Structure 1
């Protein structure tokens, strides 16, 4: 009886030993397979999690008058981005809050409220357009990967309302909505580029890995407009409307020898580079005037 129990114990021990040996052999084989046979695949899969494709915006082309004076240009502008989820976990959160408050001249409690409302987010635009002095402070402080700057291009119209109805404006994505900005949008827009970027665990770009396609800058266009004559026509029409107590008016100045339009103005006008003039009501009022202007400029 004792021999039988002893033999049974030995059999169980041998079986268990064999089972453990098989498991260890399997683990060793799997480790060898992954390390030597599948290493390239695993490295590739790991890279996919940290390398992202990002669009490189193409700079929009400019519009000039016949003498090369800029009428519509794109200028670099910076927005302030924060990572709410990471910020709230920082031991020096209160100090960072104070720094942000000083940079953008906004009460700490308001910034704190905005960040906490987005506590699970990794990307939040704290301020859309920074002044030059604010940009310099952010760069100098070098906050790290939880507070950073992003560059975008904003359309700027140096001559204000003088040629606003003619030029029109672009939306937040840089697409022409009215006037020449709309009529020439395809050529002005250019073609966006594409790049591979290395990102950290928070999906924030660390460095560019490869430029797949360089962006193609939009075309520049030269109108037949002479901005000096345009300004004179605009002011003369404005004065005539006020003098005669009229509701509005239009003026066109042409070169009789070539048929080129040197100036065109509709009143009342408004600076479309100002967001307050981009309301649906304002656009509806100006639509007929803009369409008329474009029709007359179709051969420029």
Structure 2
């Protein structure tokens, strides 16, 4: 009986397990279905993101060509030329037994100019996937390497910067590094403008890296921009040749020259010596790459005197026809002696500049306040950045003191105690030549004419420019700056170089001038730093460079002569002799 009851219970237990199992399976399917519905219908974004991370890729739209740098007439000063980079995949090299081709590797080493052992050492690690063997090889070398057919050795296109004018524009144009990024000069200061920006596209790739869908542009590529400078390469080459010759002849430490267009504030020429060839990176040295025309400052010496005369005229100390008593030719101020080479007696303001009289300058400056003198210097742009954006530009130094001693005020009047760059000094003379109007300086050619600011009364500026013409005439200190056929004005300067505790035995020779006087067009400054030998005065070392470069520039720019030559005078006399008197 008990056995029969037991037999009846067993089918009921098996049926319960069956229902339980079926229920569990149904619940599992319901849960899976609900989860799938939740993921795919209600909240699919996360999985879509995960899928996209595994298949979506951003690809660059290549546009890497760097912009050109040109002079004002479109002559190329910096261009990019196509070259090739040689690179290797060490993993592929080892996998395909590329190193077994010993002769091919020897040929590769020879054409690259690299020892074979050094070349093989770079590809020894089989885990690496990329290593440069050499950058920027010529197309001919690249073709030779391509024909070697070495597994794991590849070529990729890139660009090399080339400078057709070499050392002439090295300081101004500058150079790039091997990756095409500007590191000096215009190349560095305007690097973003010259550099192209590659665009970006979204694509979908399969597991083999093949593009299966183009999803469109993410960002547009930006073309590189060209830069047109204000310099005239013809004048630039002439200026560099003349400056380099003087630099070498006088065995100077360095030399600089800056020429400005008086009526626009544009830089026509800017050169320095010593220079370097930017096409040969092996020559690159920091002291050679510095653009001394904007980075180095000097005490301007007597070239500052015209600005002090302007200050005296403005503040009523003298007028253009005044006489200045320089007797007895010397004086003591604060225990220091200030003197001329000899007693010039009572002389005109024009003669003060013509003979470069320190006594005459001191007599005028001591009747002004230091604040009046400094205000004039600031209006001439001294102690202020020119705003051209050139790398390393210095502002110079205009002294600021609460109390001035007499000797400090006196030495300021003939160019000591203040420092300027050659560019700032050229700007000051351009302001004088332009009737006291200051234009913002520019090295980039403008599309619109600039707006000038009248910073000095025109009649005072014109009066001083007229006085500066006498400096170049017989009896002046700069007769070697004269140019046949043109009226020229300027001022020499010779200053001792400051050392710790005073002044040393080295000199700086300067000349600053403008031409033609009747309608000034060009202003130029020449600086010869530490000339060796007996000739160190500005009138001997810098003035001849001014005459040669200014003469050539006036002719190249087709500026009409404004002074009759001796031959013209003789011809005029002959014509007058044959014309009958009325």
Q: TM-score, normalised by structure 2?
A: 0.40
C-alpha separation in 2, matches of 1:42 and 1:100: 51
Q: CA deviation at 1:202?
A: 9.8
The 3 A distance-change label for structure 1 pair 109 and 50 is farther
Q: CA deviation at 1:44?
A: 8.4
C-alpha separation in 2, matches of 1:134 and 1:49: 40
Matches within 5 A, 1:127-276: 127-139=134-146, 146-196=152-202, 212-276=218-282
Give the RMSD, CA atoms, in angstroms.
4.8
2:136–2:160: 8 Å Cα contact kept in structure 1? no
Asked if 1:83 is matched to 2:226, the reply is: no
The 3 A distance-change label for structure 1 pair 288 and 276 is farther
Secondary structure, aligned partner of 1:299: coil
Secondary structure, aligned partner of 1:264: strand
Consecutive unaligned residues in structure 1, runs of 5 or more: 1-22, 24-40
Matches within 5 A, 1:11-50: 48-49=53-54
The 3 A distance-change label for structure 1 pair 276 and 137 is closer
Asked if 1:115 is matched to 2:123, the reply is: yes
Secondary structure, aligned partner of 2:240: helix
Which entry has the higher C-alpha Rg, 1 or 2? 2
C-alpha separation in 2, matches of 1:97 and 1:134: 19
C-alpha separation in 1, matches of 2:174 and 2:55: 41
The alignment covers a number of residue pairs equal to: 296
The 3 A distance-change label for structure 1 pair 203 and 74 is farther
User: After superposition, what is the alpha-carbon deviation per residue over 1:164-215, rounded to whole angstroms, capped at 9, x for unaligned?
Assistant: 100112234433332222232232224332245788989899xx99654342
Secondary structure, aligned partner of 2:177: coil
Q: CA deviation at 1:239?
A: 0.6
1:251–1:266: 8 Å Cα contact kept in structure 2? yes
C-alpha separation in 2, matches of 1:45 and 1:96: 44
Name the structure 1 match of 2:131: 124
Asked if 1:69 is matched to 2:75, the reply is: yes
C-alpha separation in 2, matches of 1:72 and 1:266: 18
Kindly indicate which of the two structures has a greater share of residues assigned to helix. Answer: 1
User: After superposition, what is the alpha-carbon deviation per residue over 1:195-241, rounded to whole angstroms, capped at 9, x for unaligned?
Assistant: 45788989899xx9965434212211111111121111101100111
Asked if 1:53 is matched to 2:51, the reply is: no
The 3 A distance-change label for structure 1 pair 216 and 139 is farther
1:58–1:193: 8 Å Cα contact kept in structure 2? no
Say which structure, 1 or 2, has more relative contact order (CA 8 Å, 6+ apart).
Answer: 1
1:168–1:182: 8 Å Cα contact kept in structure 2? yes
Secondary structure, aligned partner of 1:238: helix
C-alpha separation in 2, matches of 1:293 and 1:117: 55
C-alpha separation in 2, matches of 1:209 and 1:107: 48
1:288 to 282, 292, 295: 295
Q: CA deviation at 1:139?
A: 4.8
Q: TM-score, normalised by structure 1?
A: 0.70
Secondary structure, aligned partner of 2:79: strand
Secondary structure, aligned partner of 2:124: helix
C-alpha separation in 1, matches of 2:207 and 2:423: 50
1:97–1:108: 8 Å Cα contact kept in structure 2? no
Secondary structure, aligned partner of 2:123: helix
The 3 A distance-change label for structure 1 pair 77 and 42 is farther
Consecutive unaligned residues in structure 2, runs of 5 or more: 1-27, 29-45, 297-391, 394-420, 428-440, 444-582
